[in-house]
Structure 1
Amino acid sequence: MSTFGQYFRVTTYGESHCRSVGCIVDGIPPGLPLTEDDIQPQMTRRRPGQSALTTPRNEKDRVEIQSGTEFGVTLGTPIAMMVRNEDQRPHDYGGGGKKDMDGFPRPSHADFTYLEKYGVKASSGGGRSSARETIGRVAASGIAEKYLSLAYGVEIVAWVSSVGNEYQFPPTPEHPTYSTQPEFLKFLQRVTRKEVDSFAPIRCPDASSAERMTKVIEQFRDAQDSIGGTVTCVIRNCPIGLGEPCFDKLEAMLAHAMLSLPATKGFEIGSGFGGCEVPGSIHNDPFVNVNGKLVTKTNNSGGIQGGISNGAPIYFRTAFKPPATIGQQQQTARYDLEEGVLQAKGRHDPCVVPRAVPIVEAMAALVVMDALMAQVSRESIRARLQPAVLKGDGKEIMLPVEQTGTHADEKDVQQHLNGDAK
């Protein structure tokens, strides 16, 4: 369906060449300062026409908040947001003649499956399978990100980690997974969106890698072809305890979110597929005492264990296939079963990963926000129970209700156990 989330619910609408696209967001905390200025930066980062490496479609993607706020503050009611399509060119797709794109199910596109499923499809562009649909997701994430940042200091940063066979952190025999690469782990802790954008338009924050990746995209663009790549994302300062076993584990919801994006073909978290080549004696994340808290010494788990966040940075990688629409002639069959030659018109990305960066960040924010609201709800309900009984040193003591929640002060608990609480 077109709705994502259980507590923080996002419903998107719109096709690639309709009058507008957008979303309705429900479950928003009231009292959150919010204006279009909070939403627009990520919209601008994902918009088309940013460089010669992306589609030349000229859309400003200006977001308009339609409801749910007053005087720049959320009311707790649903927020509707709209972005008008200003540079529509449905005529690029023709009217269905033998030479028009509309007469062909485009290879590796959604034309055929949409028609088979619904019995009708959008005659221009990719309809709901188009990347234009992700505008609503990015708009909704602006709300989630602001709350997560203000309330918990959560930071979400994504970047281009490969294009074709050019990698920022290529696997090696010693490090088949980048989760054991010291340089990658240091980079994970410090990378910022500002640094990523300083390497625009490719958005790979490494000068040598960015140059190589740019050349690859230019090569395929000039050949009227396309190429795929990967986007890696890190979530820092994520609260402990997020994720709903067994079927809504945090990594499962992240995978769901990422693989719901157009053009995605793979997802891995933590050590990922390369971790299959590492023995358990190296792959396990032992616990250590850091300033009186248990933390993992390594992070091959990618910040999630048993489907629940453990406080370490969460990192994952999403694979995007080469864009299906290319300018080269392709021998294929028409809807009327006749063989033909398709040469696509229109404006399309030779590689989607540079523009996918803010979209990956957006979906990560929606997942964390939804999981956080589920956990906070559980903690609030638990805090209403009768006082809990703790046993220590042969003593039984009663903890006050306000200290029985997940966030009970560890010092207060220890004082109770030692019998010296005030």
Structure 2
Amino acid sequence: MSNTYGSIFRITTFGESHGTAVGVIVDGCPAGLPITIEEIQAALDRRRPGQSKITTPRDEKDQVQILSGIFNGQTQGTPIALAVFNKDQASHDYTHIEKAYRPSHADYTYTAKYGSRDHRGGGRSSARETLARVAAGVLAQKFLALQGIQITSYVSQVGSIYAPADYTQLDLSQVDNTIVRCPHPETAQAMIQLIEETRDKLDTVGGVVSCVIKGVPAGLGEPVFDKLHAELGKAMLSINAVKGFEYGSGFEGVSMYGSQHNDVFYTDEDGQVKTRTNHSGGIQGGISNGQDIYFKVAFKPVATILQPQSSIDQSGQEITLQGKGRHDPCVLPRAVPIVDAMAALVLADFVLRQRANKVD
């Protein structure tokens, strides 16, 4: 089972949704990085359940504990262990699916692979595992900030409701001003209304998280198989409920001619190489070119719905299932810090790898 991500800046996550704890081991983080438990906690608070009326009411405070690797407010260059102990499990909500295969969940595939599964909230397949990524991502983001790199993710679509497509027309500093984490107030209100209506119908709805990364220097990325966009795609597609990833012009670019799509180079007044357009999304040949990196991540509707559905159990018998317990009607608002974290982990690793590429 693959639980480790990264080459130099490397994380290993552990724990289950209804187990004792969920946590992460971070190895390869440079020594001397200033970090506080409050900074880590602030990121976890953006991901935690029960934070607003449009998220699951499971009341986990997700209080992080630093077990090793940080002393006197600085990383020590040694393995960093962070853990959150589960407090508000309701495992009885899952007894009815102990031997059942829920539609669009990992129940059947985990059983097929391992011969058994933890049915309590999905066990290791639960999105609760992502809190470990968010905790580690704080370290990566703090490291990147020292390099002048800033990552901002936001909800750009819920169902059929879209924010303005051009991120340069949005005030990305306003992401957390609404509970849906869309920086466009009018669109945010419509999104919230749709999520509430969907919840009241005992259903779920999906959408898109967009991410913009500024300040990335040219040269990050490893040809041929570790292209920067390929690693970003792998990182995003490893997040629960993600069904798609596109960067730059993405699928819309296929409707353009090459003469329209090519990003023409020029030198600005400071002697810096720039491009007049950015259809490449800041990446060419799998390597950053110094322009903004931007991409979109598509999330499916949450698979657990509180409506009756037909399925089968482990013996192959047809059954009727109905979700119980506390679940998100839309995962998008809580997914924003997860996208931030995974983008940061990719870039932090590439920054450190780049330092080994040249003598200077």
- The answer, yes or no, to whether TM exceeds 0.5 is yes
Q: Name the counterpart of 2:195.
A: 217
Q: Name the counterpart of 1:31.
A: 32
Q: Name the counterpart of 1:61.
A: 62
Q: SS at the partner of 1:282?
A: helix
Equivalent-residue separation in structure 1 for 2:259 and 2:195 (angstroms): 40
* Structure number, greater radius of gyration: 1
Equivalent-residue separation in structure 1 for 2:313 and 2:151 (angstroms): 44
Q: Name the counterpart of 1:388.
A: none
Q: Name the counterpart of 1:354.
A: 333
Q: How far did residue 138 of structure 1 move? A: 0.5
Equivalent-residue separation in structure 1 for 2:64 and 2:310 (angstroms): 40
Q: How far did residue 39 of structure 1 move? A: 1.0
Q: SS at the partner of 1:88?
A: coil
Native 8 Å contact 2:17 2:123 kept in 1:
yes
Q: How far did residue 185 of structure 1 move? A: 3.1
Q: Name the counterpart of 1:164.
A: 159
Q: How far did residue 184 of structure 1 move? A: 3.3
Q: Deviations over 1:2-45 (max 9, x none)?
A: 00000000000011101110100000101111221221111110
- Change in CA separation of 1:76 and 1:184 when aligned onto 2, cut-off 3 Å: closer
TM-score between the two structures when normalised by the length of structure 1: 0.83
Q: How far did residue 61 of structure 1 move? A: 0.8
1:290 aligns with 2:268: yes
Please, which of 172, 197, 218 is the counterpart of residue 191 of structure 1? Answer: 172
1:324 aligns with 2:303: yes
Equivalent-residue separation in structure 2 for 1:277 and 1:62 (angstroms): 48
Q: Name the counterpart of 1:364.
A: 343
Q: SS at the partner of 2:252?
A: helix
- Change in CA separation of 1:185 and 1:300 when aligned onto 2, cut-off 3 Å: farther
Name the aligned partner's letter for residue 150 of structure 2.
Answer: E
Native 8 Å contact 1:263 1:323 kept in 2:
yes
RCO comparison, higher one (Cα < 8 Å, 6+): 2
Q: Deviations over 1:341-393 (max 9, x none)?
A: 101111111110111000000000000000110001223xx23xxxxxxxxxx
Pairs aligned (count): 358
Structure 1 runs, 4 residues or longer, greater than 2 Å off: 183-187
Q: Name the counterpart of 1:124.
A: 120
Equivalent-residue separation in structure 2 for 1:165 and 1:119 (angstroms): 39
Q: How far did residue 265 of structure 1 move? A: 0.2
- Structure 2: runs of 5 or more not aligned: none
Q: Deviations over 1:162-181 (max 9, x none)?
A: 01111113xxxxxxxx5xxx
TM-score between the two structures when normalised by the length of structure 2: 0.97
Equivalent-residue separation in structure 2 for 1:294 and 1:140 (angstroms): 33
Q: Deviations over 1:114-155 (max 9, x none)?
A: 0100011002111111111001101111111111112x1211
**Root mean square deviation of aligned Cα:** 1.1
1:20 aligns with 2:25: no
Amino-acid identity (%): 54
Equivalent-residue separation in structure 2 for 1:330 and 1:115 (angstroms): 20
Equivalent-residue separation in structure 2 for 1:238 and 1:348 (angstroms): 37
Q: How far did residue 102 of structure 1 move? A: 1.8
Name the aligned partner's letter for residue 166 of structure 1.
Answer: I
Native 8 Å contact 2:97 2:119 kept in 1:
no
Name the aligned partner's letter for residue 185 of structure 1.
Answer: T
Q: Deviations over 1:292-345 (max 9, x none)?
A: 121111111000010000111100000000011110011222222221110111
Q: SS at the partner of 2:98?
A: helix
Name the aligned partner's letter for residue 155 of structure 2.
Answer: V
Native 8 Å contact 1:102 1:123 kept in 2:
yes
